[in-house]
Structure 1
Amino acid sequence: MTDPATGHRVDGNTGRSPGGPAQLSAVLSAVGPRLRALRRGRGLTLAEVGRRSGLSVSVLSRVETGRRQPTLDLLIPLARVYRVSLDEMVDPPQTGDPRVNLKPRAFTGPSSDRSVIVPLTGYPGRVQVFKHVLGPREPRLVSHPGYAWLYVLAGSLRLLFGDPETGREGREGREGGEGREIVEELVLQPGETARFDPLTPHWFGPVGQTTVELLHLFGPQGHGPVTRLSRP
């Protein structure tokens, strides 16, 4: 259960918070990676989160990388942006049967586009896995460090790329605007995959006014999946 006065998880038998300073330190150190996973899972840049939360990009970056301790005045606006509870942002990840802990989350993008995301990894780690159900949306190129791998489950996925030379973290642009021209366009069908360096300006979503369902693997720069076996 959670103590409403402190927001900390407490033991149901003793009413005391489990662990001590070491436990608290472990919880706080996990918040930064969890915030980064929430942001990237929603396809947002630090600049976008900064505009929506009122926090500076430098503060957001320091919190995500663990160089600044996450305080309540920082977490509350971020919880509103990511549409999650403070418990989900701060509490240690749950363990046990992962089928029980899956929590679909609906969110609305900057152009009122609606989507559902299901985090499939319940812990902050090197690789995060998400299931996306994406509704119609306006193309908006973004670029950021990392490694992306997409697998289409249902529907048709439209994948756009801009000029790699213009890819910089925090820069973004709408299709045909701000000098971010589309230089490559692909349409993927169920069973097809795509992997790419997200530093290349990119966007993905459904074709037209339809919906697309896909798996999205996201990892740190230079740490993509390694194929150990491939048989026909």
Structure 2
Amino acid sequence: MTDMRPFGAEERDPVELLSLLDGPAVEFVLAGGPYPATYYIPWKLLSRHSESFGGEMYEMTASVPLVDEERVAFRLFLVWLYRGYYEESFDDTALTERTTEPLPSIKAYLFGHRYGFEGFKNHAMRHIYKRYATFTDEAQRARHKVRITPEVVHYVFKHSLTGNNLQRLFRDIVCNLWCGFCKREHVMLAGEKVEWDRLFLNWPEFRDDVLWNRGPDNDFPDVGYYLHDIGVGLGS
């Protein structure tokens, strides 16, 4: 069977996992959408991976309301939390020749950021990088047929903090490809120039970075450049 784990992913140690399953639980409530649901996750397991659930923070996080937009990301989070990784095939259903919806891994990254799960963010970033930043690999591009659209970039900038690693990745990719896009030499950027111009109006700093080519100076950074440091004592 083909190993579909991204580089760096490891199975959870079952002995350690079992040691984290007893004690009080945190309630996660998905109230929106057609299928409301409530999940209970052991507090010790959550605090192993996020400082947001550590120590005295438990009383403040005994119940976490989730919006329907987070449903897909929460599903990936559960798989990662108990298994240690989720497969790249989770992103396949969102891929088309021109993907205007953000990949589930993008939503997963934002979920990890919102609740302080740095290991989950890094795992999602590896998936995102593999889909979008391997544009120099013709075989990879042909396989995944991923093209970056203005809609996806807008979603990333709208839902993440200025200057974070997710924004930095998309800025660097677009900077790297923009000249070729204008000459119609690259197929990795989708959409008409007028659509990108509208995006630039919404995000002037991003526009300046692209037009002044403030991306990577030489070789495109590897995925490690976009990963986050994980705090001492936290699991990956």
Indicate whether the TM-score tops 0.5: no
TM-score, normalisation: structure 1: 0.34
TM-score, normalisation: structure 2: 0.34
Higher helix share: 2
Higher strand share: 1
